[in-house]
Amino acid sequence: MIVDAEAIAEAATRPTMRFVPIKSEEQLDVQTLHRARERLVGTRTALINQLRGVLFDRGIVIAKGRQKLNLWLRENPLGNTLLTARMRQLVDDMVDELHALDHRIKQLDQEFEALAKSDERARLLRSVPGIGALNATALAAAVGDVWAFAKGRDFAAWLGLVPRQVTTGGKPRLTGISKRGSTYMRVLLIYGARAALPYLARMDTQLGAWLQALLQRAKRNVVVALANKLARIAWAVMSKQRPYEAVVASKG
């Protein structure tokens, strides 16, 4: 412990040392709510997979996806299947548990929607394409002092969305993204970018023109590149305290 204390004291004297900002109680509460939702979503996914497996063993094949399973359950009453009475009871219990998880997740989503409307930083972040209530509240809670990042690239690197550099024989080579930082926030941004990509690619804006050019020369990792771009825009929005405004692409 003495060695640790000496190391901390030594680090505190360094002018270039970076310190983690202390989060407020509100930020900690929001992060805890996000972790609770993430756990519920993971439990729901595991339950859906188990339910599909039980039905598959009985010759009932259901496509992947929560919506596909819900559609099958609505259109196929269990009483009309070849399941035994005990298996119908078990599947009924699993379906009830699935509906309960859906309800709890929906309640948290409604809470995040309300938080995104009441928090100033979250409202600004929602102006960025691909960032909804979940992304906005997660980023607002995770970023204490936005000025801890000198530029947008530093913020994207903190999220693990920048290419990892490998140097061999003095020759640098860029590989996949670093995947540092919070996996949860990185995944949220990538999902948001995937949802916004078709819409943005049709827009006559600078962001749309950049995306169209990227789609022409690159076929892979376009969604990740867009998530990186959106993370940098999010940093600019938070640092300037102004909502995102799409700029029309120049025709020249």
**Whole-number pLDDT of residue 79:** 67
Give the three-class secondary structure for 18: coil
Position 112 scores a pLDDT of 97
Spell out the domain ranges in the chain.
23-118, 144-242
Mean per-residue pLDDT, 197-203: 91
**Are 47 and 90 contacting, i.e. CB atoms less than 8 angstroms apart?**
no
Predicted TM-score (pTM) of the model is 0.84
Question: From CA 203, how far away is CA 86, in angstroms rounded?
Answer: 55
Query: Is it the case that residue 114 has pLDDT exceeding 60?
Result: yes
Check pLDDT > 60 for residue 151. yes
What is residue 18's predicted lDDT score, i.e. its pLDDT? Answer: 66
3-state SS of 232-252 is HHHHHHHHHCCCCCCCECCCC
**Residue-level pLDDT at 17:** 64
Which is more confident, 17 or 106? Answer: 106
Banded model confidence at residue 124, pLDDT cuts 50, 70, 90 = very high
The whole-number average pLDDT for the span 17-40 is: 87
Which of 132, 134, 158 has the alpha carbon at shortest distance from 235? 158
More confidently predicted of 172 and 73: 73
- Model pLDDT, residue 194: 94
**pLDDT recorded at residue 2:** 78
Handedness of CA 225, 233, 243, 181 (dihedral sign): positive
pLDDT given for residue 116 in this prediction: 95
For 72-97, what is the mean pLDDT? Answer: 86
Q: What single-letter DSSP state applies at residue 134?
A: H
Per the DSSP assignment, residues forming a β-bridge with 171 are 168
Q: How many CB atoms lie within 10 A of CB 9?
A: 9
Mean per-residue pLDDT over the chain, rounded: 88
The answer, yes or no, to whether residue 122 has pLDDT greater than 90, is yes
> What pLDDT score does 173 carry?
67
β-bridge pairing 163-168 and 171-177: antiparallel
